Structure 1
Amino acid sequence: MQLISLCSGSLAALGAVLFAYGNGLSKWGGLAVLLLGTAVLLLSLSLQRRQEKEVTRLHRQIMDFLAGKNKTPKFSVNDDLFAVLENSVVELESRLLLERENTRKSSKRNADFITDVSHQLKTPLAALKLYCEMDQARNLGAHSQKQLALIERMEHLIYSLLRLEKLRADVYELQFAKHDLSRLLEQVWEELKVLYPEKKFTIIGTAELRCDAYWLHEAVKNVIKNACEHTTAAGHIQVLLETSETVVTLSIEDDGGGIAETELPKLFQRFYRTAQTKASGGAGIGLAITKTIVEKHHGTIAAENTAHGLRIVMCFPILDGVLAAG
């Protein structure tokens, strides 16, 4: 379209020169060329404006869909190329809505099942815990403390599993707002440094992100706590914040020696435990929760070994105004 505008403009300019300086037929020929070039130029500019208007409208339609404002996409009945493009977008939106609804129903069934099982387990666990506490109070069993710790671990596992499935089923409504990630990381470390007073914790860089502060706090805390548990007493955890035009990157790196390369793809799977996690008694739920939270922020998470330890990289797209719909 720009090439047509350029050519028609040049044609009109040539016609103007011939009309101004020509004589006889060349003068009138120049006038004809001038009028033709002007007409083509005006037509191309009109088409260009219409094209820009249609692209802007289509972009707004896509953004409204992402923000959850357009629940029922409508097909265009116009007979032009833009209608073909628009209908392709609407078809994609319709398929995404159907897939989202099917996923939501499937996740809800899983969450309901986990909830039912959890409730069935909570009552006998509560009774067992009460008996163990009574035995411990009366010093009737030397092994009661170990039994109590096991019951509490089972309670924590059930609670974590229930939260994970509710997250996946969109039971929790995330509240998005712009937050300072440096401040969020400092708050996380304030909670953890009491447990790991000798660890060194460093934040490099700054970044702001539109996110749910409560859930992102938990996601980051799971990773940093995991790093603390798999480094030496004086280990170092470093967080790097980077911002580009489209992505905020949050990298958490430790100096704990890393894990086997074969374990990296499985690290965020539910119930998966590395050799180090098994030794520390972890349940393999924390990083699965972190992955789900990151995905609810439309982000990605990956793990890689470095020369000194393990690095967890979270990438979040900058989508101001879109994430309100989750």
Structure 2
Amino acid sequence: MNKVFINNEVKRSTLILTSLLTIFIMIQGLLYVAYTNNQKQDYIDIVGSMVSKAITLNPELEKELIPLITKDISPKDKEAGRIIAKEYGITSKLNNSLFPNFKNNNKIFTVSIVFSLLLLILNYIQYKYFFLKVRNMTLAANKILDDDYSTLVNEDKEGDFSKLALAFSNIRSIIKNNVSTTQKEKQYLVELLQNMSHQIKTKIATMILYNDILLNRKLTEEQRLKFLESNSIQLNKMNLMVQNILKLARLDANAIEFYKKEDNLNKTIEETIHSLEEFAHDANVNLSICYGEQINLLHDKFWIQEAFSNIIKNCIEHTPKNKNVKVYLYDNPAYSRVTIEDSGEGIAQEDIANIFKRFYKSKNLTKKDSVGIGLAISKSIIESHNGYIDVKSISGQGSSFFITFMKY
């Protein structure tokens, strides 16, 4: 029972009903007291007038009649009295108007009817109030089934209906988000398949052509090796592309479990740069790190290195020979930041908003065999580590990538 009365609606309804019933009982009690007093007075008046008449006719009867008024009437006297009254037509079938106190009974009856009607009206209002809420919730639920999330169920008072409205709103938000996510996933799959189809189709067409030449034409050993090497390059590119696509798909689907631990981010980036030194040397680009504060960050070392490797590679690929790619580390109480600067051709302003989109390629891209997945992978990994990535660039003056990890 205590659980029931936790509900404020039940408390309020019970309080109103109890108050009305209390008032009803009090009025009934007052009417009953008034009715009893009137009955006593009528009894005294009637009996007194009869005794007065009898004493007037025979004064000697006064001492005998007065004691009889205050004593109980015996059954024998009652029966004798009924017989005498009946002879004069005085029976229970007499008109009620001859008995003044019976008129007061109508007041009690009227009050009872009024309060009964009040209780029925109150009950109707409460049921209407409750069922209106239920209907509104049913309407909102039906609209959700019709993919309409515009109807809100709000409650500004405490109680079970408020909890139900809150739970309904949470479910509505979850369904809406799930539907939106599902639609985005469908769109993503469509785009992914289209881009994969385009990327793979081009490379397969090239390999088929090379293979046809190898099978149907007489070639020197040097020419044959050249075509085989070209096919090998295409296969390696396809393999790398498929691995990156699968990696990005797993990241977007939250299917990767990151093993994060508090570790030195400086060391993580040093190892990444060390692994790219040969790549930078082949491109004749100077790759260096500018040490700042020591940064300790909760991160998955393998995946963070993957993210920074993709960004630094991108910078190296777009930096002319004998130019520089520099990495800076900065730390403060609010966030940790890694800045990667190159001295390349820069990024056009219309491309900056799109470079982190999967399979996006700039119209002015000099590296024609780029797939356009690396930066998208980096962005997804960084965001999974409570960070975000931004870029600033001026055409012809290089680009700067800012990777910021928030501490709160």
TM-score, normalised by the number of residues in structure 2: 0.48
Secondary structure class of the residue paired with 2:347: coil
Instruction: Note if contact 2:306-2:378 (Cα within 8 Å) is conserved in structure 1.
Output: yes
**1:183 lines up with 2:183 in the alignment:** no
- Cα separation, partners in 2 of 1:179 and 1:87, compared to 1, 3 Å: farther
Alpha carbons of structure 1 residues 91 and 159: separation in structure 2 relative to 1, 3 Å: same
Q: Is the 8 A contact 1:182 1:203 kept in 2?
A: no
Select which of 386, 396, 406 maps to 1:298: 386
Larger Rg: 2
Q: Contact conserved, 1:303 with 1:310, CA < 8 A, in 2? A: yes
2:401 is aligned with 1:312: yes
In structure 2, the partner of 1:239 is 327
Q: Are residue 144 (structure 1) and residue 228 (structure 2) matched?
A: yes
User: Is residue 167–residue 293 contact of structure 1 (8 Å, CA) maintained in 2?
Assistant: yes
Aligned partners of 1:303 and 1:183: how far apart in 2?
A: 23
Give the secondary structure class of the aligned counterpart of 1:252. strand
Instruction: Tell me the CA shift for residue 247 of structure 1.
Output: 1.6
Quickly say closer, same or farther: Cα 1:237–1:140, change in 2 above 3 A.
Answer: closer
User: 1:204-223 counterparts in 2 under 5 A?
Assistant: 204-205=291-292, 206-223=294-311
Q: Please tell me the root mean square deviation across aligned C-alpha atoms, in Å.
A: 4.3
AA matched with 1:200: L
The residue correspondences of 1:81-160 to structure 2 (distance < 5 A) are 141=224, 142-160=226-244
Q: How many residues align?
A: 237
Candidates 288, 291, 297, aligned match of 1:201: 288
1:281 is matched with which residue: 353, 369, 374? 369
Sort the Cα spacing of 1:163 and 1:106 in 2 relative to 1 into closer, same or farther, 3 A.
farther
**TM-score, with structure 1 as normaliser:** 0.58
Q: Which has the higher contact order (CA 8 A, sep 6+)?
A: 1
**1:20-42 superposed Cα distances (whole Å, 9 cap, x missing partner):** xxxxxxxxxxxxxxxxxxxxxxx
Separation (CA, whole Å) in 2 of partners of 1:274 and 1:283: 11
Deviations 1:180-221 (A, max 9, x none): 111111101111101222513122313221111111111011
Secondary structure of the 1:282 match is coil
Rounded to whole Å, the distance in 2 between the matches of 1:300 and 1:89 is 32
Task: Please list every run of 5 or more consecutive structure 2 residues that lacks an aligned counterpart in the other structure.
Answer: 1-156
Deviation of 1:298 after TM superposition, in Å, equals 2.5
Distance across 1 between alignment mates of 2:324 and 2:166: 48
The secondary structure found in structure 2 opposite 1:266 is coil
Q: What amino acid is aligned across from residue 288 of structure 2 in structure 1?
A: F
Q: CA deviation at 1:150?
A: 2.1
Change (3 A) 1:154 1:137: farther
Q: List runs of 5+ in structure 1 lacking aligned partners.
A: 1-77, 320-326
Counterpart contact for 2:345–2:397, Cα < 8 Å: yes
Q: Deviations over 1:104-158 (max 9, x none)?
A: 766777898869x98xx8xx97x97xx79x9899767353322332232222212
Partners of 1:88 and 1:297 in 2: how far apart?
A: 35
Distance in 1 (alpha carbons) for counterparts of 2:393 and 2:275: 26
**Alpha-carbon separation, structure 2, partners of 1:89 and 1:296:** 29
Deviation at 1:179? 1.8
What's 2:120 paired with?
none
CA change 1:146–1:278 in 2 (3 A) is: same
Rate the CA distance shift 1:110–1:263 in 2: closer, same or farther, 3 A: closer
CA drift of 1:275 comes to 4.7
For residues 282-307 of structure 1, the C-alpha deviation after alignment (integer angstroms, 9 at most, x for no partner) is 11110011111111122211111158
Match of 1:44 in 2: none
Identity of aligned residues (%): 22
Residues 1:263 and 2:346 are matched in the alignment: no
1:245-286 deviation per Cα after TM superposition (whole angstroms, max 9, x unaligned)? 222222111111311111111111111123564435211110
